[in-house]
C-alpha cells in the first residue's frame, strides 16, 4: 500500500482521493463535520495533505469499513489515544514578517513533523 504512494511533502485533495480510494466530498465531510482531518492550507486556500494525513485517512477508512464506527465514535477513540507524534502548536512571532516567510516557516515545520513521525 505505502509503496504505491509517491514520496512528496504535500498532496492535493485529488491525489489523496486517488491514493486512498476515498472520494473528495467524503474527505471534506470528515474535515468539516467529523473534525477528524486537519489538512494544511496555503494562501490559495487549497487543502494540502501530508503523508501523516494519508495514513490517518487509511485508519479512518479502516475504522469505518471494518469496525463500522460512526464519526463521533472515531473522534472519541482518536481523542483517547495519546498523540505522541504531534508537537503542540506554537504561536507565530509577532512583527513585520511578511506572508511568504510565514508560509515558508509553516511548510518547514510541517515537513519536520512528518520526518519526526517517520523516524519514530
Give the pLDDT score at 77: 77
Give the pLDDT score at 85: 46
Mean pLDDT (10-residue bins), the chain, 120 residues: 66 91 92 82 84 88 86 78 50 57 80 83
Separation CA 79–CA 82 (nearest Å): 7
Q: Which of 44, 54, 45, 43 is nearest to 10 (CA)?
A: 54
Give the pLDDT score at 24: 93
Q: What structural domains does the chain harbor?
A: 2-119 (1.10.1660.10)
| Cβ neighbours for 5, distance < 8 A, ≥ 6 positions apart | 19, 51, 54
Q: What is the pTM of this model?
A: 0.59
Give the pLDDT score at 80: 65
Amino acid at each position: 500500500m505505502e509503496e504505491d504512494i509517491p514520496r512528496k511533502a504535500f498532496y492535493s485533495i485529488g491525489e489523496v482521493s486517488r491514493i486512498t480510494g476515498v472520494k473528495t466530498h467524503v474527505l471534506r465531510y470528515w474535515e468539516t463535520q467529523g473534525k477528524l482531518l486537519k489538512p494544511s492550507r496555503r494562501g490559495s486556500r487549497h487543502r494540502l495533505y501530508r503523508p501523516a494525513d494519508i495514513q490517518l485517512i487509511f485508519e479512518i477508512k479502516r475504522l469505518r469499513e471494518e469496525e463500522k464506527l460512526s464519526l463521533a465514535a472515531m473522534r472519541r477513540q482518536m481523542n483517547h489515544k495519546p498523540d505522541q507524534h504531534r508537537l503542540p502548536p506554537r504561536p507565530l512571532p509577532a512583527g513585520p514578517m511578511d506572508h511568504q516567510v510565514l508560509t515558508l516557516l509553516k511548510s518547514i515545520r510541517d515537513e519536520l513533523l512528518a520526518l519526526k513521525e517517520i523516524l519514530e
